[in-house]
Structure 1
Amino acid sequence: MPRSRSKRRASAALTAALTAVALSSMSPALAYSGSGAAAYADKYALSPNTPAYPVFGADCTNFVSQALHVGGGYPFRGAYTNESSEKVWWSRGSGPTKDTFSWSASWVGAYELYRFLLADQPGGHPKGTAPGSSTDYWTPDSVVTGDVLFYDWGQGEGVSHAAMQVGYGADANKPEWKGNYVDYHTTNRYHAFWSLKPYNAAWATTTIYFMNIDPANK
């Protein structure tokens, strides 16, 4: 006996619902969370996450890498392999000393992280440069919370510092400076004006490179 019209409609509705679920599961999920990375950076800007991670003498990139991975969900690439390759990015072990911790060059080196983000897919997208003398309130519109700023101090070493953009407002230590602000390590700072002009005596020779982190990294 043929099914009733109401049963056919119910069956069709169920089929459509199941199809929608299947299609939605096929859609790529956005994995990298800029807000999560920024929250991690805020939490550990002044008090490093030890003993989970060691603290390096030049700790800026180790700190940014932690924020990208732990807070933002950016996954390891080529985990525990070829530590010098620009296509890998990982760490393992725990602190508080480096003796129980291993890492790729891109985890701890600012230039190496910069090169990794350019090489990875979808990775990061360069969004221009600015001088360290900049007093502009904002970084470029395409640079958002959870993105990374790289600094060349102009001393012949190339990119040698990294920081994470975490928000907008007044510099925590110099409130007369208002604009986008960053967190960073080595000299640990929380909510510092993004160009670092208030802190960098050599600002006139500094070049800042903006890196937008693609939210599709997973």
Structure 2
Amino acid sequence: MPGSRSKRRIAAALTAALTASMVSATAAPALAYSGSGAASYADQYALHPNTPSYPVFGGDCTNFVSQAAHLGGGYPFRGAYTNGSSDKVWWSSGSGPTSSTFSWSNSWAAADGYYRFLLADQPGGHPGGTAPGSSTDYWTPDSEATGDVLFYDWGQGEGVSHAAMQVGYGTEPSSPAWKGNYVDYHTTNRYHAFWSLKPYNANWATTTIYFVHIDAAN
């Protein structure tokens, strides 16, 4: 009957539309990494570490940035709980308040390891150039965004040994105040510090800063 044929046509059209929608959703990858989420986490724990969920290391900068990228930004573990000495994996396990109840990959807690991990991972991070520690420019490169990571080589022969997270733009709280992009970091714990760290860094004349943009598809 005409009514039955009409119902079959409607059902067929709905099935086709649903199938097309599912194919489209599968074909378009979700943008998982949230730079704003990572920055919010960094702001929350810049001056007050997330204990006892995580221990606080003597050099806590990369542990802090890794937490922000993972818990706040949603960057997933890679190679979880395997070969912690490899910079191709990135993970942590356990809880604080001491490192004896916590385990981690080298890339989770060491700045040079995290730098190498982000550049090797896929889609990972993308290098955005360098700047000197003497920089007083307001802005980091255009490739840098909220939730991206800055790495610092103090020029003392140790290579990359510090990490910070870019969290916004405005007037940071030192005296005299500096205006521009700012970062959060640990050891020393700072909230909204001017991105080149010149106001705080005794080695600013020899420092090189490496910018890494974290791909939103992570």
TM-score (norm 1): 0.95
Structure 2 gaps, min length 5: none
Distance 1:6 1:202 in 2: 78
Provide the residue aligned with 1:104 in structure 2.
Answer: 105
Distance 2:142 2:5 in 1: 55
2:10 paired with 1:10:
yes
The alignment partner of 2:141 has SS state of coil
Provide the residue aligned with 2:55 in structure 1.
Answer: 54
Distance 1:174 1:32 in 2: 34
Identity score, percent: 82
For each residue in 1:31-64, what CA deviation from the matched residue of structure 2 results, as whole angstroms up to 9, or x when unmatched?
A: 1110000000000000000000000000000000
How far residue 5 of structure 1 moved from its aligned partner, in angstroms, is: 7.8
Aligned letter for 1:91? Answer: S
The alignment covers a number of residue pairs equal to 217
Provide the residue aligned with 1:139 in structure 2.
Answer: 140
Distance 2:191 2:139 in 1: 17
Provide the residue aligned with 2:88 in structure 1.
Answer: 87
Distance 2:175 2:143 in 1: 26
How far residue 201 of structure 1 moved from its aligned partner, in angstroms, is: 1.6
Provide the residue aligned with 1:158 in structure 2.
Answer: 159
Structure 1 gaps, min length 5: none
Distance 1:140 1:175 in 2: 24
How far residue 202 of structure 1 moved from its aligned partner, in angstroms, is: 1.4
RMSD: 1.5
Distance 2:24 2:187 in 1: 44
Distance 2:107 2:175 in 1: 32
Distance 1:128 1:154 in 2: 17
Instruction: Write out aligned runs for 1:195-206 (5 A).
Output: 195-206=196-207
Provide the residue aligned with 2:67 in structure 1.
Answer: 66
Instruction: Write out aligned runs for 1:138-217 (5 A).
Output: 138-174=139-175, 176-217=177-218
